[in-house]
Structure 1
Amino acid sequence: MATQREENGIVTLTDAGTAQVQDSALWNDDLRPTTRAEHNWSGWSFATLWIGMCICIPTYTLAAGLIGLGMSVWQSIFTIFLGNLIIMVPILLNAHAGTKFGIPYPVFARLWFGSKGAHLPAMARALVGAGWFGINAWIGGAALDTLLTAFYAAWANVPMHTGIVFMLFWVLTMVIAYRGPQAVKKLGAFSAPILAILAIALFVWAYLKADGLGPMLATPSKFATTGEFLNVFWPALTGVIAFWATLALNIPDFCRYAVSQKSQAGAQLLTMPVTMAIFSFIGVAVTSATVVIYGEAIWDPVALLAKFPPYVVLIGAIGIVLASITVNVSANLVAPARAIENLWPRRITFGVGAVVTGLIGIAMQPWFIMENFGNYIFGWLGTYGALLGPIDGIAVADYWLVRKRRLDLVELYKPNGKYSYAGGFNMKSMYALLAGIGASLLGLIVPGLSFLWENAWTVGLFVSMFAYWWLMRTDASLLTQTEYEHITDVQRQGGVQQDRNVTV
């Protein structure tokens, strides 16, 4: 009897399949595969999702930070554009799995690491997401702090005033996060046009204040030779790639609701690179303009906001707060909350996972990460890129090269199913992960191999991808085409069952 049904490229559980696992310890209403009716996110939903996530302060500070490191405007834009094109490849490859099988990231990870081992990549993603949550909460809180100081100067004398506002912003974000990923669609649709208008307004101000586009783009490169540029370019490129390496892993959390592969892939491919390029250009152009206007490069938008009249501070603070909440809920809370929920699906809810994520974000001291662009680009982005690159490589290799897009949904929810491997752990994925991380770490240990660490995400991805493919190419958990067709009721366009010899 078929346990899953494939219709127009989307696989869902049949009633018989659901009955087999709905009482499993690995099943709950948040982690189960989506139903056909729940595949209701159009291309516009993904477009607004990415616009809302890309127009955020970390994007601005990433672009502006490259100027501070010595790049020219065009060197900065090239680095960011290239990094976004590179990370878009694993995003779309992993998005396919979420769309086709309707599973969230922690369940997707069970395929590669096992029912228990999946906690390792899920929690690795969770820790990075929690760190990003703390960063955005700190930025949003700082914007509110600036707003209060602009309208009430005595606020600056209140003990720990920045910390107080930071906690208020933290609580506000947590309340919104309780609504879960479906609320992201509404939040993105609301915030995307507002953020776009504010970004354009900031650019127009800089254009007028700096007397034209020429002075805004006139900041020269500080590198005298190509070698000097490359010494900064390679680790900076890794930082740009790592910027969305988190979403490259947990994009199934959102694409599991897509109406089709075509709609989600087309919308993501168009909106993410384009929005990042445009807003990055605004970031570097405005930062270059501050050199002309104020005599120094102001890469922190909150610090720039403080130089405006109070009514402008109010509008700007609203934009920064909205941007911080949008990216925090969509990009930084959903995946960690799901990962924490996956630790004990029958007892831990999404809401509890969100609160734990927020607490971890505070513990990771976002105020230190944002203290200067060296901490931000080389310390924060570069280091976690070395961890997530190998996991990205394993995910892509498993779905596309090893399993060839054939999964048994029921087995994903069985504690002792075929995807539990030995005692819930797939040691082959552990070896592949260590190989990828180890290859990057050689760049920190061996003189002359620093390029390995400077390109940690890319090196780790390819090393782990190849190692995983080699170790898993004949694994017993793989489904042949015949086995897949035996458990799957495949429907043609219009709902006509495909002819095959199987009892349904």
Structure 2
Amino acid sequence: MQEHASTAFVGSDIERGVDMSSTMKREQSSMVEESEEYQTAPAMKGRLVWIASKLHVEERGIERVPDDARTDTSYWNISSMWLAANLVVPSFTIGVLGQPLFGIGFLDGALVIIFFNLLGTMTVCFFSTFGPAFGLRQMVLSRFWFGWWGVKLVALFNLLAGIGWSAANIIVGAQLLNAVNPDLPGWVGIIIIALCTLFIAFFGYKVVHAYEYWSWIPTFIVFMVVFGTFAHTGDFRNVPMGVGKAEIGKVLTYGSTVFGFGTGYTSLAADYTVYQPSNRPRRRVFLSAFLGIYPTLLFTELLGAAMATAMTLNGGDNIYQAGYNESGIGGLLGAVLLPHVGLFGKFCLVILALSIVANNCPNIYSVALTLMVLGRWTRRVPRFVWTILGSIVYVAIAIPGYSQFEAVLENFMHFIGYWLAVYEGVALTEHFIFKRGFSGYNVEDWDNPSKLPPGIAAVFAFGCGICGMILGMSQTWWVGPIGKLAGPEPHGGDLGFELGFVFAAVSYFVLRTVELRLFKR
């Protein structure tokens, strides 16, 4: 109880914008928040924090960002964050996978990309508006929907998704480096890209935003080179779309993959707007995020879908299919660039490989913040230490998964889409129906378990959402009974995220109504 009181006392001081140390420089006080936990920390942690302050590493964890620390006044910072994070090879890969994995034609693949990305990115843009409004990270905000204890379950799912997604992304980068130099082992490429990512994410919010602000420019130039080179080859083929029940199953399953990638940043959206001023118009924040993420996903995924059609030339006997078989996405891009632009093509592939850094920085930065929600003991470990440990874990997953990239990426995109649909079902129902918008939050309760919802309704609704997901999912290892009806045997079609959302939202509405009557909070 004493620890909780201390934390609450510090939290209230932060909300009033009180300077926690009169001897601290103004620019450091905007990034560093003293608390009793820091003052009584072990000697080792004290040394780490001291070193971090000297290096200007962001030390703020999940504490609320006070108004006087909201120094990020650029709307372009919001747009460029999602522009750089999605103008990357993994986005391009999602477009490519439609043809070899699902047998999708170009036109139907393009329609899936347009519609399911629009659906998936809406929640990323919406929850980005919560950062300026409340100054709280996404997982901390989730306490207002899932309660003090229930959010720990959500944090575990977010942790698994962030680590898994980072592992899948980095495999793509390693494949690109392997296409440049076939003698370079996959594990070496993985470590190179992971170290570059760690260097950026280690320093925190300001450095991550600064990197994303500029890093998209060389990547965009390279993608335009890829686009122009491929268009010049004339090897695009308008693979016809399918018909009947088989086409429905393919579209639903591929759509689940596209949705999973598009909605993937929902559970960390507010993390990258918490330093925006609290008086930011929500519509402008939403639009800034939308203009950064949605057009970027359309460009990269449609380009990938177009290039994938070339793998059907001569019944699959062509340089594109051969490159894809040998080095995955890196081999496909190499087949387009290397024969036409030579050594410059290798340079382009290296730039694309390093674009993974922009994709993984948000994941790894937010993994550390997610870990800090799991318990008060995790908050005693500095954020940058969790960033290092998270990087080690996803590298350990990526190295053995290098040879199974397509399966790794598809499975993780489905997993992300599934669990985030359930998360969104609960969060949106609470926000719009029970809190009735932003005015229904008392932000001072963010760290007070007795004032937050009990979380019982949210946890049970989350379980109901998982049941809906299981009934509708279509994977090689499991096809739900409803999923079987959405397409031909044996795989049907994937309805996992749709049913997960509906089951979670409906059950939460019923259970939360009862919970409010019983607990009055």
TM range (shorter): 0.7 to 0.9
Give the number of the structure whose residues are more often helix, by fraction: 2
**Matched-pair contact (CA < 8 Å) for 1:60–1:279:** yes
Stretch of structure 1 that moved more, 297-306 or 55-64: 297-306
Contact 2:266 2:420 in 1 (8 A): no
Name the amino acid aligned to 2:442: D
Q: Are the structure 2 counterparts of residues 478 and 234 from structure 1 closer, same or farther at C-alpha, using a change threshold of 3 Å?
A: farther
Instruction: State the partner residue of 1:282.
Output: 303
SS in 2 for 1:364: helix
CA contact (8 A) 1:133 1:333 kept: yes
Pair 1:339-2:370 in alignment: yes
Going from structure 1 to structure 2, the CA distance change for 1:352 and 1:22 (only over 3 Å counts) comes to closer
Amino acid in structure 2 at the alignment position of 1:55: L
Structure-1 separation of matches of 2:350 and 2:320 = 25
1:235 paired to 2:276? no
Select which of 285, 291, 303 maps to 1:264: 285
Identity %: 16
Quote the Cα distance in structure 2 between the aligned partners of 1:446 and 1:198. 42
Structure 2 residue 430 is matched with structure 1 residue 398: yes
Q: Is the 1:47–1:267 contact (alpha carbons within 8 Å) kept by the matching residues of 2?
A: yes
The whole-number CA distance in structure 1 between the counterparts of 2:348 and 2:218 is: 11
Question: Which residue of structure 1 lines up, in the alignment, with residue 214 of structure 2?
Answer: 190
The corresponding residue for 1:253 is 271
Separation in structure 2 between the aligned mates of residue 114 and residue 18 of structure 1, nearest angstrom? 28
Q: CA deviation at 1:208?
A: 0.9
Q: Unmatched 5+ residue regions in structure 1?
A: 4-11, 150-154, 480-504
Per-residue deviation, residues 294-341 of structure 1 (Å, max 9, x unmatched): 3654664311344416623432233223310001102x2122111112
Alpha-carbon distance in 2 for matches of 1:381, 1:346: 29
Cα separation, partners in 2 of 1:354 and 1:281, compared to 1, 3 Å: same
Select 1:164's aligned residue among 153, 165, 188: 188
Distance 1:15 1:258 in 2: 15
SS in 1 for 2:203: coil
Q: 1:325-370: per-residue Cα shift (whole Å, max 9, x none)?
A: 001102x212211111233354212112212222331343465377
Contact 1:206/1:289 (CA < 8 Å) preserved in 2?
Answer: no
What is the SS of the residue equivalent to 1:418?
coil
1:205 matched to which residue of 2? 229
Bigger relative CO (Cα 8 Å, ≥ 6 apart): 1
Q: What is the total number of aligned residue pairs between the two structures?
A: 447
Picking from 472, 492, 496, the partner of 2:512 is 472
Distance 1:401 1:92, change over 3 A: farther
1:299-448 to structure 2, matched below 5 A, reads: 300-307=328-335, 308=338, 311-330=343-362, 332-343=363-374, 344-365=377-398, 368=401, 371=404, 373=406, 375-377=408-410, 379-404=411-436, 405=438, 406-414=440-448, 416-419=449-452, 421=454, 426-443=455-472, 447-448=481-482
Structure 2 alignment gaps of length 5 or more: 1-7, 9-13, 22-32, 40-58, 473-477, 487-492
1:121 maps to 154
Greater mean deviation of Cα atoms: 388-397 or 399-408:
399-408
Query: Aligned in 2, Cα 1:366/1:277: closer, same or farther, shift over 3 Å?
Result: farther
1:494 is matched with which residue?
Answer: none
Is the partner of 1:220 in helix, strand or coil?
coil
Mapped to 2, the partners of 1:270 and 1:87 lie a distance apart of 14
Shift of 1:437: 0.5
CA 1:342/1:228 → structure 2, altered by over 3 Å: closer, same or farther? same
State the partner residue of 1:219: 239
TM-score, normalised on structure 2? 0.77
Q: Residues 449 and 132 of structure 1: is their aligned pair in 2 closer, same or farther, counting only changes over 3 Å?
A: closer
Give secondary structure in 2 for the equivalent of 1:272.
helix
2:135 maps to 1:102: yes
307-316 or 464-473, larger mean C-alpha shift: 307-316
After superposition, give the CA deviation of every residue in 1:233-289 in whole Å (9 maximum; x if it has no partner): 111111111113331121011122334223321112233221111121211222324
CA distance in 1, matches of 2:226, 2:269: 30
CA distance in 1, matches of 2:516, 2:19: 24
> Which amino acid counterpart does residue 437 of structure 1 have in structure 2?
I
Q: Find the partner of 2:15 among 5, 13, 16.
A: 13
**Structure 2 CA distance, aligned partners of 1:395 and 1:277?**
27
CA RMSD of aligned residues (A): 3.2
Q: Which has the higher mean CA deviation after the structures are superposed, 366-375 or 116-125?
A: 366-375
CA distance in 2, matches of 1:185, 1:362: 23
Match of 1:496 in 2: none
Q: Kindly indicate whether the alpha-carbon contact (under 8 Å) linking 1:49 and 1:188 is maintained by their aligned counterparts in 2.
A: yes
Q: Which residue in the other structure is 2:199 paired with?
A: 175
Question: CA distance change for structure 1 residues 440 and 13 in 2, over 3 Å: closer, same or farther?
Answer: same
Contact 2:202 2:365 in 1 (8 A): no
Contact 1:42–1:264 (8 Å) recurs in 2: no
**Displacement of 1:122:** 1.4
TM-score, normalising length: structure 1? 0.80
For each residue in 1:87-120, what CA deviation from the matched residue of structure 2 results, as whole angstroms up to 9, or x when unmatched?
1232233223223101002211222232233221
Task: Look up the match of 1:152.
Answer: none
- Return closer, same or farther for 1:365/1:67 CA change in 2, 3 Å cut-off: same
